[in-house]
Structure formats: C-alpha cells, structure tokens
Amino acid sequence: MKEEINLYIQTISPVHIGCDDVYEPTGFAIDEEAQQMVVFDPVSFISQLEDPDKREFSNICAKGTIASILEVYNFLRNRPVNGRAVDVCHGFLEHYQKTLDISLHDERKIRQELNRFEIPRTAFRSVDQRPYIPGSAVKGALRTAYLNLMENEKKLSEKRKERNARNLEQRLMEYDGIPTDPFRMVKVSDFKPVGEIRTRIIYAVNLKKKPSDRDARGVPLIFEVVPPGALFEGTITVGLPPHGSGIRKHISFEKLFKSSMLFYMKEKERENKELRGIGIEVIPVSGQAQDREISSLLRLGRHSGAESVTVEGHRDIFIMGKRGERKQYLNRATTIWLSSELRIPGMERQQCKETRDTS
C-alpha cells in the first residue's frame, strides 16, 4: 500500500537550484528602462533587422574578438528586442552600464567583466522555460532532516564522530546498501510552478558571521533566482517496504514532517541569531502556515549553508583561513551567503494540501 500527499512549496527567500545551464553574454540584451534582461533568439533577431543594420551587425560579429562582444552590447543598447524578460537587480544594471563604458582597447578588462555576465540559470522546464523545483532537491532536503532526527534519537556522536558520510547514513537508518535504503520507499515528484513566476537576477555576497575588519574571501556571485512568494505544487508518495526486501525501517509521513520541522526550524533560529549579530534584518517565519493543518520548513538550493546539509554532531566543515595559516575543519561555518536584498537564499515553506491513499 502506498500513501500519496499533495503539497505546495512556497518560497520565502530567493532560491537558486543549479541546472548546469547559463545565460550566455551574447544571448541577451538589457532593457535599462524596464530593468530587465531580454533573452532572445539571435537568428530571429537578425531576421527582423533592416538591411543596413544587418550589415553592421554582421560586420561586428565577423570580427570574433573579445572587444566585438562589447560592440554587440552597444549595438543592442536601446534597440527593441523581442524575447523572454527576466527582472534584474539594480546592482546588475549598474554593472552592465559600467561595462559598456570600458575602452574597446582594454581587452583584459573586457574579458574579466564579460566572464561575470555568464549567469547560472535556476532549474527550468525546457517545454516553457518556467522555473520548477526538482524532486531530487526536495528528497535530499527531507533526507538530511530525517538523518538529523535519527542522530537525535540514536546519539551516535556521543560514542564517536563518523567522518564517512555513507557509513553514517547506513548506521543511522540501519541499511547495508542501496537495495535496503529505507528512502527507496519515498518518491518525490518534481514541483511544477503555480501561476506566473518571474525569476530575477541577483548578486550573492559572502559575509562573516562575526564582525571583523577583514571581509570574507568569497567574491560576489551572480545568478538567477526564484523570488520569495513563488508557489509550486507536487506530490510525495511513501510506501511500505515489500516483504523480503530487507528494508528494516519504515519512513512515515509523520516522521518526515516532524524531522523537517525540527531540523530546519532549529537551523533558522540559529541563523536568525547570527544575522542579528551582524546587524542584518531577519525574515520572520513561524514554520507553521496559519491556514494549513500540516506545514514545515525546507532548505533548498545553492548556498543553503553547510550546517543545513550535514548531520549535527558529525560535521567537519572546511574553513579557509588567512593566507599562510593552516586550513581547518570546524563543526560550524564562519561565513554566510546573502542575496543583495539581504535575504537568506534557500529557505522554503512546505504546506500540506490534501492526503489520499493510492495502491
């Protein structure tokens, strides 16, 4: 017998889930007035140009130099371009405008700046280019929370810290290999977008958790995110282990939600304290949706924070120290990534819609 539950996931901060695809610098134009990046089809764009403009554009492209890419940007500037619009943050717009002012003779700087305009995309559906949340990301977040619940019950860390992640998972969930992994009985669908969702291009900055006169070593990054308030819908199915399968533990919906709420709410409270310590306004989240009987928090996507993707009591987080100092491993991270709007990337709210049994 299987039990299936329909769920909503609502983002409460910017979320980026990598998909190994990028927006290429030559594949978009910037509408400065609308503060949007317009992703266009070059072939379609060229076909709509008047003959003199076609010749000019072709001559620029034929140069094949780094500087010619900047010439393409200037050619596109203030020209109407049809395509898919993506909102951009103000900092990105300023960066773009300054890049256009670089001398065409300074190829080193042009190359340096253009490399920063290769923008990682968040996971999207090829059929309509709309963002979605892969089921694998949701299942991974649920698994991390469940492992932390098992550690809280078994307290393996009181005996010794397990440095091998695979061994730790097998000990906590009592299985020997993939065939007997209890999470084989948990099936998570991809979460499809509900309504219109406009993605956004933002920067992420790396800050120290404790005030310091030295900046964190991570350079600002830029990528596409799903903004707060976006809604996605999907399903989670949990089945009983078949007789003779060798799966010793049964994972229930009750424990999935309990572990998720306990772990991610605890991590949220820890982060809130750290953020207040460096003067950052926090997102007020109760973890319980007011209009839903069952709800929980999840942490998804890039820059979720090392603590949110590891098991408490067994953490060995690599810390890059000062130049010349020995590298070290701690049970906590010393920096945090924030969006340019000072939101915490990756935190989610998971809401229960309805429950039904399926065979």
141 lies in the same domain as 222: yes
Confidence of residue 286 (pLDDT cuts 50, 70, 90): low
pLDDT band at 359 (very low <50, low <70, confident <90, very high): very low
Q: Are residues 136 and 99 in the same domain?
A: no
The mean pLDDT value for 259-269 works out to: 92
Give pTM, 2 decimals: 0.86
CA distances from 252 to 5, 26, 149, 239, 287 (A): 12, 49, 13, 8, 20
Q: Is residue 354 domain-resident?
A: yes
pLDDT of residue 127: 95
Does residue 271 belong to any structural domain of this protein? yes
Nearest to 116 by CA among 40, 221, 19, 26: 221
SS (H, E, C) the chain: CEEEEEEEEEECCCECCEEEEEECHHHEEEECCCCEEEECCHHHHHHCCCHHHHHHHHHHHHHCCHHHHHHHHHHHCCCCCCCEEEEECHHHHHHHHHHHCCCCCCHHHHHHHHHCCCEEEECECCCCCCECECHHHHHHHHHHHHHHHHHHHHCHHHCCCCCCHHHHHHHHHCCCCHHHCHHHHEEECCEEECCCCCCEEEEEEEEECCCCCCCCCCCCEEEEEECCCCEEEEEEEEECCCCCCCCCCCCCHHHHHHHHHHHHHHHHHHHHHHHHHCCCCCCCCCCCCCCCCCEEEEECCCCCCHHHHCCCCCCCEEECCCCCCCCEEECCCCEEEEECCCCCCCEEEEEEEEEEEEC
Among 151-155, 188-192, 218-222, 243-247, the range scoring the smallest mean pLDDT is: 218-222
The mean pLDDT value for 100-117 works out to: 88
Give the pLDDT mean for 124-147: 96
Whether residue 241 lies inside any domain: the answer is yes
Regarding whether 250 and 142 lie in a shared domain, the answer is: yes
pLDDT higher than 90, residue 142: yes
Residue pLDDT, tens place only, 316-336:
777 776 666 777 777 778 788
Whether 176 maps to a domain, the answer reads no
85 & 133 share domain: no
pLDDT of 356 > 60? The answer is: no
Structure tokens, 121: 């995309």
Same domain, 78 and 141: no
Bridge-based pairing of strands 231-239 and 2-11 is antiparallel
Domain tally, the chain: 2
Give the residue with greater pLDDT, 320 vs 23. 23
Domain that holds residue 322: 2-19+128-156+184-358
At 215, the pLDDT band (50, 70, 90 cuts) reads low
